[in-house]
Amino acid sequence: MSTFHTVEVTCAACQEPFEARLLDSLNADRHPAGRQELLDRTLHRHTCPHCGVHNVFDKPMLYTDLGQGLFVQSLPEVERLRFAALEHEIVQVHQGVFSSPNSPPFVREIGQAAPPRLVFGYEELREKIVAAEHDLDDRLIEILKLQLIMGWPDLLAAGLRVILLDGVSLLDGVISLDGVLPERGIEFVLLYADDDRADGLPVPTPDGAPRRLAAPMHLYDALAEQRPALRATYGQLFTGAWVNALRYKFNPDDLHP
């Protein structure tokens, strides 16, 4: 089930209280509108009735969509540095739901098809939903991001901070990296160092740096064929619950053992 609470929140801008409806958990099967709000980037965003500023309430929320193989604990972005301890917790929660000593086999199978995932912030959660919708392995998506970064060092020089999976679409008219026009591509949004402005105003793009990047689907397909080798190289993405390229920002040595 999905659990809603109407709670008193405080506006980040004017510090005045107001009431907002927030979710502790979201079951996409029973509350598809909540899933759509995540995709539309409107979930837990409320305009302050006092000053009109748009607030985002990045609170803990368990997101489940077992039909899509998703069991995802979303935590506030400020918790990211504690990922190692937190992913242990979500694995324990998942085991308690699906793998207790009395769990019937069909429950265990559901759990295996929906492995535990940890995300920080609703953009990371949105990525999991998009990947599942398009039958993409989230681990390979994160490896694809790392390869894009390594193959395009100018992005880091421009202050690239995060690459986010945005969607999968027809790339009619898009120029691909290797000159071959693909039929489908994976679209990413790029965020740079200055993108978290408190006033929410658009930030100018660093000179020459792209805001969006489309990777042809064949790059993903090539990764899918190398899965065993990739598992050895990017072990953390295959064993941890926080499946995100940012892990290597905190443990960069692990990329080059």
Tell me how far, at minimum, the Cβ of 228 lies from Zn ion, in Å.
53
Cβ-based nearer residue to Zn ion, 30 or 50: 50
Cβ-based nearer residue to Zn ion, 55 or 64: 55
DSSP secondary structure letter of residue 208: T
C-alpha–C-alpha distance, residues 36 and 43, integer Å: 9
Residue linked to tokens 């790059």 = 219
Tell me how far, at minimum, the Cβ of 200 lies from Zn ion, in Å.
12
Cβ-based nearer residue to Zn ion, 52 or 153: 52
C-alpha–C-alpha distance, residues 116 and 90, integer Å: 7
Tell me how far, at minimum, the Cβ of 13 lies from Zn ion, in Å.
5
Cβ-based nearer residue to Zn ion, 58 or 138: 58
Cβ-based nearer residue to Zn ion, 17 or 60: 17
Bridge partners, residue 170, by sequence? 184
Tell me how far, at minimum, the Cβ of 55 lies from Zn ion, in Å.
7
Cβ-based nearer residue to Zn ion, 23 or 48: 48
Give 138-179 as a DSSP string: HHHHHHHHHHHHHH-HHHHHTTEEEEEEEEEEE-TTPPPTTS
Q: Which helix (H) or strand (E) holds 72?
A: strand 70-75
Tell me how far, at minimum, the Cβ of 51 lies from Zn ion, in Å.
3
C-alpha–C-alpha distance, residues 9 and 55, integer Å: 10
Cβ-based nearer residue to Zn ion, 17 or 151: 17
Q: Which residues bind to Zn ion, rule: CB under 5 A?
A: 11, 13-14, 48, 50-51, 53
Tell me how far, at minimum, the Cβ of 201 lies from Zn ion, in Å.
16
Tell me how far, at minimum, the Cβ of 166 lies from Zn ion, in Å.
29
For residue 229, how far is the Cα from the chain centroid?
A: 24
Q: Encode 102-137: b = buried (16+ Cβ within 10 Å), e = exposed.
A: ebeeeeeebbeebbbbbbbbbbbbbbbbbbbebebb
Residue linked to tokens 């499946």 = 243
